[in-house]
Structure 1
């Protein structure tokens, strides 16, 4: 999930505005490994911010040139020597953003997330925001295991699941296949096989019609998401996935996966339906049943 604080997001947005449209779209492709297709500068900016691990990683990108950071600092009233190197400008920018947060009155926080599931469970938290951040984190992590991307795989494994996690996988591609797996090790390995062995890329639809969340009174948060499945440049079909998340107080309030229901439909099972940005077919009452 994105590790940018609100202050860093605002600052990075200002810097990204200084990029040309072609550089912005190119940077979006780089950050998402070309998994997410964006149409315009606004979508590109939002995607870059969402998929960047932290502010420093984004500022060090080749497309974010030294002169742009220099110009941003000048606009913010921060004077730097004209011959400052890029790493010095990056360091000064990060210090500037940190100083803004440090000046905040006590109790007023700048919401941040980390690159694992350690979003704090707190009263009044927003399940929809958790759902968005979880999906960005989960699919980026799972897709990074796909060797065809040529990227170093991130830290996938059973540690992200509860020991008694259950996976139900229903695939309709020609015939109907139903598989069930129980336990963190088996569930982790079966999901890993989708990207590592089968070389699939799962692209979630993060728009309101593709993502729905529901918080149960017992502490479970359901995250339902629809998306498209790709191999290389081919779109193979669509998926719908429901996650049950429960917070683990013994592990610094990390959200861990309690169950996963995954439905996959191949192109031949879609009957000519448009596969781009598929919408969820689950409604709230169906999700409510899964909470019980």
Structure 2
């Protein structure tokens, strides 16, 4: 069980926030033995605090550098020597936290004392008010007794007046009823005549309505036939375009691949503020409900992830550009993109490119998509399968022209695997 005082927890959180992103997550993996995942800085700090025994043990970690502790002491106006070693700084910050904890407890104790004094004063004041209220109630009781006697006399007079008014109201009601009956008879005659006219008009409107419904049904059938004729048009969820040219009785895969990659990576990159475009509508609507994401990346070590469902896949891809601030630059050309299609209409697209953050090129990626057409709409397509592999650059390695390592036989194998998933 972790042993952190309030001040220690706040102080350690502030020191951890000053670490850079890679050191923070490396420290998280060390403390949690790589058994707990974290996607944000806040989650990583919570894992580190919950898995550390105490503040001193955490501060002695190698990733908690001396400069971060010194910066914290200077920020909080703690007098210290700039030449002090890390252990001396740790002792200084632990002592500072103990003093702050004493101050905090002193303030809490003083506040409790003030509350108790205030409560006692309120209790005395309440008792005084109760005594005054009791005396006032006795006076009011006498006044109520006298008022009750006057009220009884007033009620007798009121009952007499009420009987007179009821008799007068009864006579007026009888007269109104008589007049209403006479008026009702006149209205009934008029209503019967009006109903006969409305019935004739209703029959005419019903005939017109049936004719309009028949015309609408014929128009709907014509529209359905027109939609079937447009089944070969390509529409990647939110992008509408004309149907691609046909090649040997099938789709032109190169055209499909280029249009899809241009649409997908512009949509994904727009979620990154540094892309310089208004964010477009990103979400699970672009994926099938049971979509699968296979994600592998290599920085210092190789990591793999598996996500399933349209929500999980869309959120994980979104976190790469929105939370980690990455930008994907696909190589949409003959050397950087492959596309094949099956007899069932399933399309597999593989594309390679570079990964950027701000003005730096961080690495390369290869991404494989499996697309399946929806049975309704103007040939809408949704993403069924995504395989993303990312590799970080080391040293000053440069990329002149990233090439695609997924050759056509391998791409056809992926397409066959995707066809099996759909059975």
Contact 1:236 1:266 in 2 (8 A): yes
TM-score scaled by length of structure 2 = 0.40
Within-5 A mapping of 1:129-278: 129-268=255-394, 274-278=398-402
Q: Which runs of 5+ in 2 are unaligned?
A: 1-228, 417-423
Give the secondary structure class of the aligned counterpart of 1:251.
Answer: coil
Give the Å deviation of 1:242.
Answer: 0.4
Instruction: Supply the distance in 1 between the matched residues of 2:396 and 2:302 (Cα, whole angstroms).
Output: 18
Give the Å deviation of 1:264.
Answer: 0.0
TM-score scaled by length of structure 1 = 0.58
Give the Å deviation of 1:113.
Answer: 6.5
Partner residue of 2:16?
none
Instruction: Supply the distance in 2 between the matched residues of 1:218 and 1:290 (Cα, whole angstroms).
Output: 15
| Structure whose residues are more often strand by fraction | 1
Give the Å deviation of 1:126.
Answer: 0.7
Instruction: Supply the distance in 2 between the matched residues of 1:204 and 1:139 (Cα, whole angstroms).
Output: 8
CA RMSD of aligned residues (A): 2.4
Query: 1:241-273: per-residue Cα shift (whole Å, max 9, x none)?
Result: 0000111122331111010000000002xx865
Partner residue of 1:44?
none
Instruction: Supply the distance in 1 between the matched residues of 2:281 and 2:304 (Cα, whole angstroms).
Output: 28
Give the Å deviation of 1:206.
Answer: 1.1
Residue 284 (structure 1) aligned with residue 408 (structure 2): yes
Give the Å deviation of 1:150.
Answer: 4.4
Change (3 A) 1:207 1:273: farther
Give the secondary structure class of the aligned counterpart of 1:289.
Answer: helix
Q: Which runs of 5+ in 1 are unaligned?
A: 1-106
From the CA coordinates, give the structure whose radius of gyration is larger. 2
Instruction: Supply the distance in 1 between the matched residues of 2:234 and 2:322 (Cα, whole angstroms).
Output: 30
Give the secondary structure class of the aligned counterpart of 1:164.
Answer: strand
Contact 2:234 2:380 in 1 (8 A): no
Instruction: Supply the distance in 2 between the matched residues of 1:288 and 1:272 (Cα, whole angstroms).
Output: 35
| Structure whose residues are more often helix by fraction | 2
